Amino acid sequence: MIDPYAQAADAIEKAGLVIALTGAGISVESGIPDFRGPDGIWVKHPPERYASISAYLEDPDRVWQFWVKLARMCRNCKPNAAHGALAVLEHAGLLHAVITQNVDNLHQDAGSRRIIEYHGNARWLVCLKCGARDPFDLERPPERAPHCQCGGLKKPDVVMFGETIPADALLEAEVLAVQCDVALVIGTSAQIYPAAEIPLTAKRHGAFVVEANIQRTDLTPAVTDTFLEGPAATTVPKLAAMLTP
């Protein structure tokens, strides 16, 4: 029987360009709940009421309070061994970029440098009118949704439901998916489009797909070449240890 870790390590060693697509599953062991699971964030806080741009524009103060709590939770969490292992692979020249669906900033905290934030970053605010970005002051956040100097309403710089993925992130991720030789899919079932297109595009263009998830997903029979079963904080460091001193 072929060892999936050896198979994945061999593919990475031979590859010219390796990318990683990460989802909520990589941050669960840092203390950030999954969004869509049985105990996920969206169960208690339905996205149509707390995470859609229409809800924010209709009642910005209510939605603002939710995002203050979520951003604080992200800030108080620390990167786990999976985040660290991806940073190690990047520093060793074995990983070109991380495309993350997460908004928690944990890849940056772990030391990764080339990060494409597909859904934004909850530690920043953006003005809906002029586009100015500012750090999210979580020590003294305003009780009500803030406004910019230009008069526009500010919101967390995340992609809410009803908003589009930033064009630069969308294009850069697509180009990397086409060019990569190996795609690591970690902690995500890749069901939400357009992020779901990334592993599909990589596979169509000849990439070797390594999936690391708690359990097999719909992605597994469709594109996965080798499957690493278990928590990301276990599987990803194990793979990285085979590739780095």
Extents of the domains making up the chain: 1-31+79-119+164-245, 33-76+121-158
Of residues 37 and 107, the one with the higher pLDDT is 107
Per residue in 40-97, pLDDT (tens digit) is: 777 788 889 999 999 999 999 999 999 999 999 888 999 999 999 999 999 999 999 9
Has domain 1-31+79-119+164-245 been given CATH number 3.40.50.1220?
Answer: yes
Point out the least confidently predicted range of 31-35, 163-167, 207-211, 234-238: 31-35
Per-residue pLDDT, 46: 86
Higher pLDDT, 206 or 70: 206
Reply yes or no on domain 33-76+121-158 having CATH 3.30.1600.10. yes
For the chain, report the end-to-end CA distance as a whole number of angstroms. 26
Residue 123 pLDDT > 70: yes
What pLDDT shows up at residue 37?
Answer: 66
45 an active-site residue? no
Q: Is the pLDDT of residue 14 over 90?
A: yes
pTM of the predicted protein model: 0.93
Catalytic residue among 83, 119, 147, 205: 119
Mean pLDDT along residues 189-200: 88
